[in-house]
Amino acid sequence: MTPSQDAKPQPILEARGLVKHYGQVVALDGTDFDLYPGEILAVIGDNGAGKSSLIKALSGAIRPDAGEIFLNGEAIHFRNPSDARRFGIETVYQTLAVAPSMNIYENLFLGREIRRPGVLGSVFRLLDKKKMLDDATTYMRDLKFHIQSMTQAVSTLSGGQRQGVAVARSAAFARNVAILDEPTAALGVKESSMVIDLIRNVRARGLPVILISHNMPQVWELADRIHIQRLGKRIAVIKPNDYTMSDGVAIMTGAMNVN
Amino acid sequence: MTHTNQERTSSTSLVNRVFNIIAAFRLGPFLALLVAGAFFYIQNERFILPLNISLILQQTSWIAALAIGQTLVILTGGIDLSNGLVMALGTVIMTTMAVENGVNPFISIGMGFGVTMAFGLLNGLLITRLKLPPFIVTLGTLNIAFALTRLVATTTIGNLPDIQTIFGERISLFGTTFTYGAIVVFPLYILMWFVLRETAFGRHVYAIGDDREAARLMGIPVNRILIQVYVLAGFFYAVGGWLLIGRIGSGDPNAGQTANLDSITAVVIGGTSLFGGRGNILGTLVGALIVGVFINGLQITGVDPLFQRLITGILVIVAVTMDQLSQRIRK
C-alpha cells in the first residue's frame, strides 16, 4: 500500500522544480511534489513557506514561473482553475468559494450547472433545476451529510456545514485529486470531526486527498504521508508513524534535518 | 405580569411572521407602491383614473428600460453612471442619421443600438482588462458620451420618420389609451427575470456579485460575463432611448441627464443590493413605478416640485438602509 523506495508506483500528481515570484517575494523556490494513489498527503509548513502557492499552482489558480506538473506521468499546463478541474483536480479553498446568497444545490453546481435536455438546454440554455436539486439531495444523503433543505441559502448554514458543502462539492466532481486547504481552520471540535468524517468518506471512495493544515494532531491522525514545506522548497516527506509531532514541527522550522 | 409578557411575545411573533413573509417574497417594494398609490388616491381621486395610470407608465417606461441594464450591472456588484448620457447619444445618433444623413430610419435605429452597446463594451473592457472600478470607468464614459452627443447635435431633432416614433403610438386598453412604449417594458422585464432565474448566465451574474472570487475559482468566466452584462445593459439603454424618442417625438441632446441616478434609485428601491448578488429585477420595475408614482402624485396634488427630489432622496436612503440592516442581521 505505502510506496517503498525501491518500487514506487507512479504518482498521480507530480511536480518538479516549481518557482513562483510575487515581485521581490519568492513564494516557491524550485519545490517538488508527489501524490500517490489512494493516499491522504498532508502538506505542512510555516507561514510563508509556500504551501498556498504550491496548492494554487497544482489547482491552476496561479501559473508557476518555472517548473513542471505531471498528471499520471503526463506533463500538463493549467491556465486557470477550470483547466485543473477538467483534469479531475478539485480544490476546496481556504476562502471556501461558496456564494453565500445562493442556495446549497446552486453552490454544488456553481460553474457547471446542468442544462435541460434538448433544444431548451442547448439553444435556450435553460437550467435543469429539478435534476440539480435531486442529484444534490441524493449525493449529500450518500455522504451522510445532513442538511434540512438543499434550497436554503448557504449564508444560513454554520461554518462546518458550509465547509461540508465545499468539501462535498469537490469530492463529487473530482476524478483524480481533491485538494483541501485548511478545511477545519475556523471550526469548533464537533464541526471539525464532522468534516474529518467527510474527508475519510472521500478517501474511502478511492480519491487521493491533499490536505493543507496547521492542525498537527489532525495531520498525524489523518495523513498517510506528510510533505514538509520550508522557505519555498520541499525539505522532507515523512510518515506520521516514523516521526513525532514535535519532530515534524522541528523539521518545519529548520531546527532538525532529515535526509 | 406574565400574562402581558406572553401577549407581547405572541404579538411580536405575529409581527415577525408578517415581516418574514414580506422578506421571503420580496414584497417590500410592492407594498410601498400600494401605500404610495393609496396615499395619493386619498389626496386626489384623479390619481387612480386609467388616463393618469397611463400617463405614469409613459413617464416611467424609458427610465424603467434603462433600469433593466442598471439592475444587471448592479447585480454583478458594479454600477453604471454613464447610462443616461449613453442613451442620449444613442437617441441623437438614431434621429440625426435618419433626418440629416438620409440613412434608412430602421438602420439608423440599429446604429443607435450599436453605439450604446459599443459603450457597454468599452465599459466592460476597461473594468475587466484594466481592472478599474466601475464607478470611475462609467464616470469617464459619461463625460465622453456627453461630449460626443454635443458633437452630433446641439438642438432637438424633429420631423422623425414614423418607425422612430412608433413607441408614441397609442392603443386602447381598459377604457383608455396606452402608448406602445408604456407597455413594451413589461415583457422585457418578464424576459430578463426569466433569464436571470433560469439560465446559467443569469445564475453566474448573481454568483459574480455575491462572491466574485468564489465565482472565479469555480470556473465561471467572470470577465466574459461582466463584458456581456455591460453590452446587454447598453442594449437596454438604446431601448430606453427609442422609447424616449417615441414619448417626446424628437431626438433630444439634453435628455437623460439625471437618468443615471433615477435608474439607480429604481434598482435600489426595488430591493436589489448595491453590494451585488442579491435582488430581483421585477423589484426594479416596481421601484421605477414607485418613483413615477411619487413624481406624478406630487404633481397632481400640487406639491412644489422640489419635494419630489426630496422624497426620492429619502426613499433611496431608506432602501439602502434596509439593505444594510438585512445584511448585518444575516451576519
Concatenate the DSSP letters of all residues of A173-189 into one string: H-SSEEEEESTTTT--H
Among all chains, which residue has been given the C-alpha cell 458550509? Answer: A162
Is B252 in CB contact (< 8 Å) with chain A? no
**How many domains does chain A divide into?**
1
Q: How far is B104 from chain A (nearest CA, A)?
A: 32
Is B330 in CB contact (< 8 Å) with chain A? yes
Interface predicted TM-score (ipTM) over 0.85? no
Residue A117 lies in a domain: no
The minimal CB distance from B206 to the residues A91, A102, A111 is found for A102
Q: Do B219 and A101 touch (CB under 8 A)?
A: no
**pLDDT at res. B331:** 52
Q: Do A99 and B201 touch (CB under 8 A)?
A: no
Q: What residue spans of B44-133 are helical by DSSP H?
A: 50-75, 83-99, 105-129
Quick one: CA dihedral A126, A131, A137, A138, positive or negative?
A: negative
* Residue of B148, B3, B160 whose CA lies nearest to B87: B148
Query: How many of the other CB atoms lie within 10 Å of CB of B250?
Result: 19
Alpha-carbon dihedral of residues B207, B212, B213, B215, nearest 10 degrees?
30
Chain A: residue whose CA lies nearest to B194: A126
Residue in A110, A123, A149 to test binding to B, most B beta-carbons within 10 Å: A110
Among all chains, which residue has been given the C-alpha cell 448578488? Answer: B277
Q: Do B213 and A101 touch (CB under 8 A)?
A: no
Residues 59-118 of A with CB under 8 A from B: 61, 80-82, 85, 91, 93, 95-102, 106, 110-113, 115
Strand-strand pairing, A40-45 and A209-212: parallel
All residues at 6 or more sequence positions from B77 whose CB lies less than 8 Å from its CB, including other chains: B208, B209, B212, B275, B276, B277
Is A162 in CB contact (< 8 Å) with chain B? no
Q: Do B199 and A99 touch (CB under 8 A)?
A: no
Please write the tens of the pLDDT for every residue from B220-254. 999 999 999 999 999 999 999 999 999 999 999 99
Residue A91 has pLDDT above 90, yes or no: no
Please write the tens of the pLDDT for every residue from B121-176. 999 999 999 999 999 999 999 999 999 999 999 899 988 888 888 898 888 877 78
Least confident piece of the model among A6-10, B102-106, B274-278, B310-314 = A6-10
Residue A34 lies in a domain: yes
What is the arithmetic mean of pLDDT over A92-98? 77
Chain B: residue whose CA lies nearest to A92: B217
H or E element at residue A108? helix A104-108
As a whole number of Å, the end-to-end CA separation of chain B is 34
Please write the tens of the pLDDT for every residue from B250-297. 999 999 998 999 899 999 989 899 989 999 999 999 999 988 888 888
Least confident piece of the model among A1-10, A67-76, A153-162 = A1-10
Q: What residue spans of B249-280 are helical by DSSP H?
A: 259-269
Residue A122 lies in a domain: no
Structural domain containing residue A53: 13-101+153-253
**pLDDT at res. A7:** 55
- The whole-angstrom separation of Cα A180 and Cα A168 is 11
Residue A40 lies in a domain: yes
β-bridge partners, B109: none
Contacts of B198 in chain A (CB under 8 A): 126-127, 129
Query: How many of the other CB atoms lie within 10 Å of CB of A116?
Result: 17
Q: How far is A34 from chain B (nearest CA, A)?
A: 23
| Domains located in chain B, CATH noted | 27-330 (1.10.3470)
Chain A: residue whose CA lies nearest to B209: A99
* Residue of A200, A228, A201 whose CA lies nearest to A214: A228
Residue B314 has pLDDT above 50, yes or no: yes
Q: The domain spanning residue A174 has which CATH number?
A: 3.40.50.300
Residue A245 lies in a domain: yes
User: 3-state DSSP call for residue B244?
Assistant: helix
What is the arithmetic mean of pLDDT over B63-80? 97
Residue A204 lies in a domain: yes
- The whole-angstrom separation of Cα B210 and Cα B184 is 30
Q: How far is B25 from chain A (nearest CA, A)?
A: 14
Strand-strand pairing, A209-212 and A225-230: unpaired
Is B206 in CB contact (< 8 Å) with chain A? yes
- Under the banding of pLDDT at 50, 70 and 90, the label for residue A57 is very high
The CA-atom distances, in angstroms, between A235 and each of A51, B80, B260 are 12, 51, 58
**pLDDT at res. B24:** 59
Residue in B20, B74, B211, B328 to test binding to A, most A beta-carbons within 10 Å: B211
Largest separation between any pair of C-alpha atoms in chain B: 84
Residue A125 lies in a domain: no
- The whole-angstrom separation of Cα A61 and Cα A78 is 8
Residues 153-172 of B with CB under 8 A from A: none
- The whole-angstrom separation of Cα A221 and Cα A226 is 11
- Under the banding of pLDDT at 50, 70 and 90, the label for residue A129 is very high
Residue A259 lies in a domain: no
Residue in A102, A114, A152 to test binding to B, most B beta-carbons within 10 Å: A102
Residues 120-159 of A with CB under 8 A from B: 124-127, 129, 155
Contacts of B214 in chain A (CB under 8 A): 95-99, 110
* Residue of B257, B256, B208 whose CA lies nearest to B229: B208
